């Protein structure tokens, strides 16, 4: 019987020891109290707490966490009420302060975020609110990070998820955006037509320049051709005169050449030709020779 009691006691002691052994996982921390007072913070590893004296007050996650708050009604500087929902990224850096700094830290964070958002948006007009998300995010992160330092919380980032103006304002904004898009479309169309007209005019200008240049080149080539022909004829005439001079022609040959030149001048179209007196005898001689040949 005694062995049974001893065995039961040993089993109970073993169970007590086993139940007071704790293994802290990565990115987690345990806050330990001894007789109701803070004792220590357990990090990663194997730990043993004194039975019935120590207790785990809170298990804390050291990972970055996300809080997605529902839309909050806020009023802008120009008295427009709209709904804004916020996302806060935070991380617990001091488990002791997180445990003893504030009651219900998550609820405190939500309330602080809502009041901070209302204060910041209250200093902005509607248009500024819609176009200044980065400014609002930066201000909120700085304010929340400073306010949550005594709670052992570090706010890493704050984002405005959605900004929902009233329905009538949304309708007005849509009409304004449509008008702006129509205006931009008209401007783009006008600019396109302008560029097209400019390109057509430039094309016509270049075409006219090319035509004028072609006509100019053709006229130059034609003039050069005529000049070359004249030079060739003059050169042939000069050569013939030179050859004639080299042969020392008599007066009859020269007069005969003169008559041939006059025939070319007449070209069969002249009705009257005046012959110098010194050439009349030669003409009669030439006619006699021609008539003798015909007979």
Per-residue model confidence as pLDDT tens for the chain (295 residues) = 677 777 777 888 878 888 788 888 888 999 999 888 889 999 998 888 888 888 999 999 999 999 988 888 888 888 888 889 899 999 999 999 999 988 888 899 999 999 999 999 988 888 888 888 889 999 999 999 999 999 999 999 999 988 888 777 767 767 777 777 888 888 888 888 888 888 888 888 888 888 888 888 888 888 888 888 888 877 777 777 677 666 655 555 555 566 565 555 555 555 555 555 555 554 454 454 444 434 4
The CA distance from 5 to 10, in Å, is 9
Domain 64-165 listed as CATH 3.30.479.30: yes
Per-residue model confidence (pLDDT) at position 232: 82
User: In the structure encoding, which two tokens stand for residue 159, read together?
Assistant: 């984002």
Pair type for strands 21-24 and 45-48: antiparallel
Given this model, what pLDDT does residue 271 score?
55
Global pTM? 0.57
DSSP lists the bridge partners of residue 38 as 33
Total residues found in the chain within this entry: 295
Q: Which tokens go with 138?
A: 């930066």
Beta-bridge partners for 168:
none
């Amino acid at each position: 019987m005694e062995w049974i009691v001893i065995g039961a006691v040993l089993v109970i002691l073993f169970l007590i020891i086993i139940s007071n052994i704790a293994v802290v996982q990565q990115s987690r921390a345990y806050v330990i109290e001894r007789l109701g007072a803070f004792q220590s913070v357990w990090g990663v590893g194997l730990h043993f707490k004194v039975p019935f004296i120590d207790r785990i007050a809170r298990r804390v996650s050291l990972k970055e966490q996300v809080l997605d708050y529902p839309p909050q009604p806020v009023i802008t500087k120009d008295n427009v009420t709209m709904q804004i929902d916020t996302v806060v990224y935070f991380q617990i850096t001091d488990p002791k302060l997180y445990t003893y700094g504030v009651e219900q830290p998550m609820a405190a964070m939500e309330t602080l975020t809502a009041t901070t958002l209302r204060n910041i948006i209250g200093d902005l007009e509607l248009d500024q609110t819609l176009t200044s998300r980065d400014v609002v995010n930066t201000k909120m992160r700085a304010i929340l990070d400073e306010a949550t330092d005594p709670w052992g919380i570090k706010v890493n980032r704050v984002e405005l998820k959605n900004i929902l103006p009233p329905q009538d304002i949304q309708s007005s904004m849509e009409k304004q955006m449509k008008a702006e898009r129509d205006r931009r479309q008209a401007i783009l169309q006008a600019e396109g037509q302008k560029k097209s007209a400019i390109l057509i005019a430039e094309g016509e200008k270049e075409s006219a320049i090319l035509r004028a240049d072609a006509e100019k080149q053709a006229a130059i080539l034609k003039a050069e051709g005529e000049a070359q022909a004249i030079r060739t004829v003059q050169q042939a005439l000069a050569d013939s005169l030179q050859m004639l001079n080299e042969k020392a022609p008599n007066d009859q040959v020269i007069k005969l050449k003169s008559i041939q030149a006059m025939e070319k001048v007449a070209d069969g179209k002249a009705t009257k030709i005046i012959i110098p007196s010194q050439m009349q005898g030669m003409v009669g001689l030439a006619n006699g020779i021609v008539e003798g040949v015909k007979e």
